[in-house]
Amino acid sequence: MIPRRASYRDIPLYAPSNRPCRVDLSDNTNLFGVPPAVERVLATTVSRVPRYPRGYAPDLRRALAASIGAAPDEITTGCGSDDVIDSALRAFLEPGDTLAYQDPTFVMVPLFAKVNGLEGVPVPLKPDFDVDADALLGTGAKVIYLCSPNNPTGTALSRAAVERVAEDAPGIVIIDEAYADFAPGKDFLDLARRRANVLVTRTFSKAFGLAGLRVGWGVGSPELVAEVEKARGPYKLTSVAEAVAVSVLNGDAHWVRARAEEAVACRERLRGELVSLGLTPLPSEANFLMVPLPGALAVAERMRERDVNVRAFQALTGVGDALRIGVGPWPLMETALAALREALR
């Protein structure tokens, strides 16, 4: 018999459905295509593949620092932003320590707590979907995780509540901003640079359209970033991924902003269509809509039969059953709406 860690015995494998589907709106990635620089860079970086990448992605750190007016030693990178989050948890928490997080939120966070031997404490969001600062602080957690705009609700946290948590937290505050590109002006990068205990994480997987290359990053004080880098270890970004990310960041930022604006416009148009069906999508600052709907799992299955994939959630705290519908070019939305109308009959 293979020996197993007792604490891992009841942890399920996180494996989102990846069955082929004509219209897949389940993972919130950029469905408007990839930035123009991608094809050019991929064609010129093949010769780098046989060699190890540079250990801690220095070119990308410099490019990211320049893009937000920071210093390179305030930037960390990883294999997706979830890698940066996981590395931060290992850097600042011992097994048995407490990790507090808003509920509902990114599904990987409670899983990270379990695999790192932590005591995960979910704290329900308020009825208006803002974070409950008092309740989070009351846990005494050494690390508090926040997500804004939040996945899966799409709602944004208020600055007052986030600043309160950052100011009074006994330890580190991680703010996951995977969807910040769809909510300009509502980010907390400034907080990460002002407060030594705040780490803001971001990704190239959503607005930048590079999910397949797995590029994430974070910004924080040099002391905080140094600890995350130690926990992260070297070679988490391939040479190709780093080269593409740098080129897109330096040359295609305008393209990314335009696609994000297009996604927001489609989201609001989709909201109107959903309301006309008698549904009540939650307010969203992301590139998806969360739609409370009893029996959401069955509805999603019926949509899947019509070759449209959306994400169903069951019994979410403060929401109940719901569908999460990613946003793409309007022709895809029309196909999804047709499938939804049929599924609701």
Q: Does 144 fall in a domain?
A: yes
Question: Per-residue DSSP letters for 80-105?
Answer: SHHHHHHHHHHHH--TT-EEEEEES-
Same domain, yes or no: 259 and 218: no
- CA separation, residue 320 to residues 138, 270, 295, 313, 345 (Å): 26, 21, 10, 8, 21
Rounded Cα distance between 299 and 80, Å, is 31
pLDDT confidence of 16, banded at 50, 70, 90? low
Last residue within a domain, chosen from 226, 251, 276:
251
Q: Are 84 and 149 in a shared domain? A: yes
Q: How many domains does the chain have?
A: 2
Say what the pLDDT of residue 220 is: 97
pLDDT tens, residue by residue, 255-305: 999 999 999 999 999 999 999 999 999 999 999 999 999 999 999 999 999
**So what's the pLDDT on residue 85?**
97
Domain boundaries, position 232:
36-251
The pLDDT value recorded for residue 21 is 80
Question: What is the chain's mean pLDDT, rounded?
Answer: 93
Any domain includes 2 = no
Residues 206 and 258 in one domain: no
Asked if residue 115 and residue 202 are part of one domain, the reply reads yes
Label residue 18 by pLDDT band (50, 70, 90): low
Q: Which one of 196, 218, 251 terminates a domain?
A: 251
pLDDT, mean of residues 185-195: 95
The reported pLDDT for the residue numbered 41 is 78
In a domain, 23, yes or no: yes
Does residue 104 fall inside a structural domain?
A: yes
Boundary of a domain, candidates 251, 266, 288 = 251
The pLDDT > 90 percentage for the chain reads: 82
